[in-house]
Amino acid sequence: MSPKSQSLFQPQLVKEALKQSFVKLDPRLMYRNPVMFTVELGTVVMLFVTLGLLVNPDPAQGSFAYNFVVFLVLLLTLLFANFAEAIAEARGKAQAESLRKTREETPARVIDEKGNISSVSSSQLQKGQMFVVEAGEIIPTDGEIIEGLATIDESAITGESAPVVREAGGDKSSVTGGTKVLSDRIRVVVTTQPGESFLDKMIALVEGAARQKTPNEIALTILLAGFTLVFVIVCVTLQPFAVYSKTPIAIASFIALFVCLIPTTIGGLLSAIGIAGMDRALRANVITKSGKAVETAGDIDVLLLDKTGTITIGNRKATHFWPAPGVDERQLIELATTASLTDETPEGKSIVELAREQNVDPQQLQTHLQGAELIKFTAETRSSGVTLANGTRIRKGASDAIRQLATKANQPFPQEVTQRAEAVASNGGTPLVVSENDRVMGVVELQDIIKPGIQERFERLRKMGIKTVMVTGDNPLTAKFIAEKSGVDDFIAEAKPEDKMTYIRTEQQSGKLVAMMGDGTNDAPALAQADVGVAMNSGTQAAKEAGNMVDLDNDPTKLIEVVEIGKQLLMTRGTLTTFSIANDVAKYFAIVPALFMVAIPSLGALNIMHLESPQSAILSAVIFNAIIIPALVPLALRGVAYKPIGASALLRRNLLVYGLGGVIVPFIGIKLIDLLVGVFM
């Protein structure tokens, strides 16, 4: 993983972007951006005017030098706009490439139908081919395990150093190219064509060709084109007005007025903002399949979150032993521990751990297990445990499962145990009842541990106007307790995969946008239905195909970050549009008096900035107009910071900074440039 906090302008990226700035002058590329395209037309006209003056000097049009400088500044405006787009592309590409590099050109051992193994370069692997990987080898490409189980180091992609287990079948079957097998041997089937992995798609998205405008971007482009047209009208009609008023206006002044008034700032930065949004997602280790997905994320109203791993830490933990009446607490602890020693589930392990804390030595109990028969948990019995060599049956399980055992054996189920189990459940815990030879011995309390800081995150989401929904397999009582404790707004208890789907549909029917995260194949329909579906990279191929984003970190809280990136993207567009349009006020006051002052001296009163001369005023305005673009590139790339302070407060803040700022800054900027230009004129 490359360091995330790299500077905005790395030398090699800048070099590439500079080259691209010239390539992008091609009108066939330029016409996609109507605002800058008109600037290009103006620049071409200026070029001809300047060349014409060389041949045939005309005092009415100003000196050759002046016209040439105006031409140069316009050209610079174009180059700056191109540079903004190019540097955003370069950064996005560099980020994606650095991820891709990890997986390129690793030898793969391909197995053909006859079982022969041959070595092939990873870049030549075709979809559907099979290969084997063993401990110590790098997985050549994305695929799905069809045979075997392995521990895999995914730190190259996720930065997480703890190895993960992947096995054939189920939800943990997918492997990512570039990760390393630490143990065992697996057979993997290739799931993507070369050049079609998510990363490849992402790179294509960042590059111009595949990049489609998002709906918001289209609407904004229409608005900007509208603004441009208004100023076309303003400038074209000014010609007869000027003739009527006997105030001839030089071509350079017309073009300068036009270029300054049209929203070149946002027009020049628009595509850079969009690319930077995807790039920021990538930096958060989220691969987006379209720019639209990032934008939609900013609009999300409802967030479905799995309880486990998102809201609570991993799994439930044993927190208390509650012996039944007449049972010694120590006896209960020993029984529960014995039944859990071979239990690999996190719950089982946590019982052993709690026993150790209460001074029961699990090592000693190990001896009881000799010759014992292990009873695995099944959905039918809903209990597990051991049957010792001496025939003692120790079971632990859900309250009603053990009640059944006891009733069958004509053993009482003490009232106190029932009460305790209910008390535990109503506290958000899970009661595990322990029995010995069907006699009820007591209750083990399992509790969920809520992640520290999660309440604050939900609070932040609430302020953004996003409703959080916890999805859990727990019973409604437990779910409610955890929901309240963690501060989620709603929960789906005893959730089956189709419940998620139903929930998403209902919310969508009421006009809301829903985001969810999932990893299993049975999540795929819901991921596809959700407006933003983030699949975990560890998830199945089906899940990854269904979602519109893939999270390389497998971090369930990532959704929150994605939402903020989406909001930042829209905000950056909105604020820079406001800034760009607000700039017009000052530009009018710089250029309009400059146009008429000579012929109509009384209009000199409009020259409130006291600019040196008409020519210096026009030059200052176009220069300001040009350099504001690169000056705002860092903002466009980083995005405007999102603060969840409520929409109205946010608008007020942004209006003050970018609206009022947009009115004031150019007054100062143009005046300063004019002082500087005045020195040379």
Partner 1 sequence: MNQDLLGVLVMFGLALGLALPLGRFLANVFRGDKNALDFLAPVERGIFRLSGIDANREMTWQQHLVALLTINLVWFVLAMAVLCTQGVLPLNPDHNPSMSPDLAFNTAISFLVNCNLQHYSGESGLSYLSQIVVITFLQFVSAATGIAAAVVIFNALQARTTDKLGNFYNYFVKSLTRLLLPGSLIIALILAFNGTPMTLAGKQELVTLQGESVAVSRGPVAAMVAIKELGTNGGGFYGANSAHPLENPNFLTNVVENVALTLIPLAMIFALGFYLKRKRLAWMIFGVMTVGFVALLAPTIYYEMHGNPAIAQMGVDQNLGALEGKEMRFGAAASAYWSITNTVISCGSINSMHDSFMPLSGLCQMLGMMTNAFYGGCGVGLLNFFAYLIIAVFIAGLMVGRTPEFLGKKIEAREMKIAVIVTLLHPLLILAGTAMTAHLYAGNPTEYAGWLANPGFHGFSEMLYEFTSASANNGSGFEGLGDNTPWWNISTGVVLLLSRFLPIIGPVAIAGLLARKKVVPESAGTLPADTATFGVMVLAVIVIIAALAFFPALALGPIAEHFSLY
Interface positions, 443-472, toward partner 1 (CB under 8 A): 462-467
Tell me which residue of 516, 595, 522 sits closest to 558, measured CA to CA.
516
CB of 615: closest distance to partner 1 in angstroms?
Answer: 18
Residue 143 to residue 194: CA distance in whole angstroms: 12
Find out whether 344 and 357 touch, Cβ atoms under 8 Å.
no
Is residue 306 annotated as part of the catalytic site, yes or no?
yes
Q: Which position among 299, 306, 448, 519 is part of the footprint of partner 1 (CB under 8 A)?
A: 299
Q: How many residues bind partner 1 (CB under 8 A)?
A: 75
**CB closer to partner 1 out of 72 and 650:** 650
**CB closer to partner 1 out of 451 and 512:** 512
**CB closer to partner 1 out of 4 and 652:** 652
CB of 638: closest distance to partner 1 in angstroms?
Answer: 15
Structure-token pair, residue 328: 């010694």
Annotated binding site: 343, 347, 377-384, 396, 519, 523
Supply φ then ψ for residue 200, to 5 degrees.
-60, -40
3-class SS of residue 414 = coil
Q: Which position among 23, 54, 146, 243 is part of the footprint of partner 1 (CB under 8 A)?
A: 243
Q: Does the footprint of partner 1 cover residue 233 (CB under 8 A)?
A: yes
Looking at residues 244 to 273 of the shown chain, list those that interact with partner 1 (rule: CB under 8 A).
Answer: 244-245, 247, 257
**CB closer to partner 1 out of 352 and 609:** 609
Q: Does the footprint of partner 1 cover residue 573 (CB under 8 A)?
A: yes
DSSP per-residue string spanning 116-166:
-EEEEEGGGPPTT-EEEEETTPBP-S-EEEEE-EEEEE-HHHH---S-EEE
If you ran DSSP here, which 8-state letter would residue 658 be given?
A: I
Structure-token pair, residue 590: 């710089």
CB of 92: closest distance to partner 1 in angstroms?
Answer: 21
**CB closer to partner 1 out of 83 and 658:** 658
Q: Is 145 buried (19+), middle (13-18) or exposed (0-12) by CB count in 10 A? A: buried
**CB closer to partner 1 out of 23 and 608:** 608
Q: Does the footprint of partner 1 cover residue 238 (CB under 8 A)?
A: yes
Residue 160 to residue 285: CA distance in whole angstroms: 12
Residue 62 to residue 58: CA distance in whole angstroms: 7
Binding mask 584-603 for partner 1 (x = CB under 8 A): xx--x---xx-xx---x-xx
Q: Which position among 121, 183, 239, 419 is part of the footprint of partner 1 (CB under 8 A)?
A: 239
Annotated binding site for Mg(2+): 519, 523
Binding mask 301-340 for partner 1 (x = CB under 8 A): x---------------------------------------
Angstrom CA distances, 555 to 297, 309, 471, 617, stand at: 16, 8, 16, 55
Q: Which of 299, 306, 551, 674 is catalytic?
A: 306
**CB closer to partner 1 out of 644 and 678:** 644
Q: Does the footprint of partner 1 cover residue 216 (CB under 8 A)?
A: yes
End-to-end CA distance of the chain: 53
Looking at residues 483 to 522 of the shown chain, list those that interact with partner 1 (rule: CB under 8 A).
Answer: 510-512
* Segments in 159-250 forming alpha helices (H): 198-206, 215-244
Question: What's the per-residue H, E or C state across 270-320?
Answer: HHHHHHHHHHHHHHCCEEECCHHHHHHHCCCCEEEEECECCCECCCCEEEE
Looking at residues 540 to 569 of the shown chain, list those that interact with partner 1 (rule: CB under 8 A).
Answer: 566-568
Q: Is 376 buried (19+), middle (13-18) or exposed (0-12) by CB count in 10 A? A: exposed
Tell me which residue of 268, 264, 289, 284 sits closest to 206, measured CA to CA.
289
Q: Which position among 218, 598, 672, 681 is part of the footprint of partner 1 (CB under 8 A)?
A: 218
Q: Which position among 219, 389, 598, 608 is part of the footprint of partner 1 (CB under 8 A)?
A: 219
3-class SS of residue 209 = coil
Looking at residues 627 to 656 of the shown chain, list those that interact with partner 1 (rule: CB under 8 A).
Answer: 642, 646-648, 650-652, 654-655
Active-site residues, by number, are 306
